[in-house]
Chain A
Amino acid sequence: MAPWDDVSIPNDSTLARGVRTPEWMTVENGKERLNSACFLDGVNYETSCFVLEEVGGIDGFCADILPTLEAKLGNKLRFATITVNTVRSTGLWVYRKPEEFDGNSAHVVVCASRDMSKSQYKKRVRELAGLATLQP
């Protein structure tokens, strides 16, 4: 759990999250959407994301970050986007953790405050999954 919400990350920034397929996706009535597992973390309540504006936008993310994640995972990934403002509107925080991705300062975690219960956290990540956009 991160110590605070990092307000140096502006609300209008967009975050990108690698999405495992098909596990973190649900198809309903022919429509794809994310499920809660995409943003759920069992230990630290921290989910890795990248600030799109700091990695060259979607093009930069797809050219540099996504292939790195896929190479480390050994599988293809899709990705989802969500604004920082939307993350904060659900009651979750955003916090930089460059040390968890080769010192890259664009690496952040979407996280919960220390006093949040598991049921509160689960509710928030489900809401977040419903608000994020799964990219084609």
Chain B
Amino acid sequence: MATLASTLTFPEVVGHYKPIRPVNVLFKSNWGNTVSLDGPSWRIVAFSAIADLENREPKVVPGLGELAASKRAADSLRAYLLPINESSLPFPRIVPATGGAILLVWSSGDRSLEIASFPDGEIVLEALDHGVLNEELSEKGLNHAIGWLIRG
């Protein structure tokens, strides 16, 4: 018993212990930011919704279609949204289509953006003004389209 107690207290180590960092400095992580927990609130909501769709059990309903979002469509949509740090965007609506595709819709007044993510990883962006496609803006890419959306 005496040997065990001696082992647990490490008497020979305690006297030479040097902390690896100053004990009076608050701990600060060296890890990089975790994207899903750090960023605009719309993105946290969007990534959570995408994960929900991705984790649904695959189900083919004859007469309706295949109803689970594909992993590639989910990954592709996350990668597409990741560089966007604009915090004033509204929360998007994210819904499943059939065949593994995902549709994301951002609406602000009469303007909206529709982003379709396909299971092969391809993304289609549409900027809609009063429901009418603005082809030029759609082709300029997401950053331009978001600027247009939030200027509303």
Contacts and interface: CB of A to CB of B under 8 A. Distances in A.
Interface of A: 18, 20, 23-24, 26, 35-37, 40-44, 47-48, 50, 65, 68-69, 72-73, 77, 100-102, 107, 118-119, 122-123, 126, 130
A118 B103 contact: no
Contacts of B99: 40-44
B50 to A, nearest CB: 14
B97 A18 contact: no
Interface string B71-89: 0010000000000000000
Mostly helix, strand, loop or mixed at chain A's interface?
mixed
B133 interface: yes
A41 B95 contact: no
Interface of B: 59, 61-67, 70, 73, 93, 95-101, 103, 105, 114, 116, 118-119, 122, 124, 126, 131, 133, 138
A73 B100 CA distance: 16
Nearest to B139: A119
Contacts of A41: 65, 97-99, 101
B124 A48 contact: no
Contacts, number: 90
22 contacts: A18-B64, A20-B64, A20-B67, A40-B98, A40-B116, A41-B98, A42-B98, A42-B119, A43-B101, A47-B65, A48-B62, A48-B63, A48-B64, A68-B63, A69-B63, A72-B64, A101-B62, A118-B122, A118-B124, A119-B138, A122-B116, A126-B126
Contacts of A130: 131
Nearest to A117: B124
A63 B72 CA distance: 38
Contact of A119 (B100, B124, B131): B124
Contacts of A47: 65, 98
A5 B119 CA distance: 25
> Which 3 residue pairs of A and B lie closest in terms of their CB atoms, listed nearest first?
A42-B101, A42-B99, A43-B99
B63 A40 contact: no
B124 A42 contact: no
B105 A35 contact: yes
Contacts of B131: 130
Contact of A43 (B63, B103, B116, B119): B119
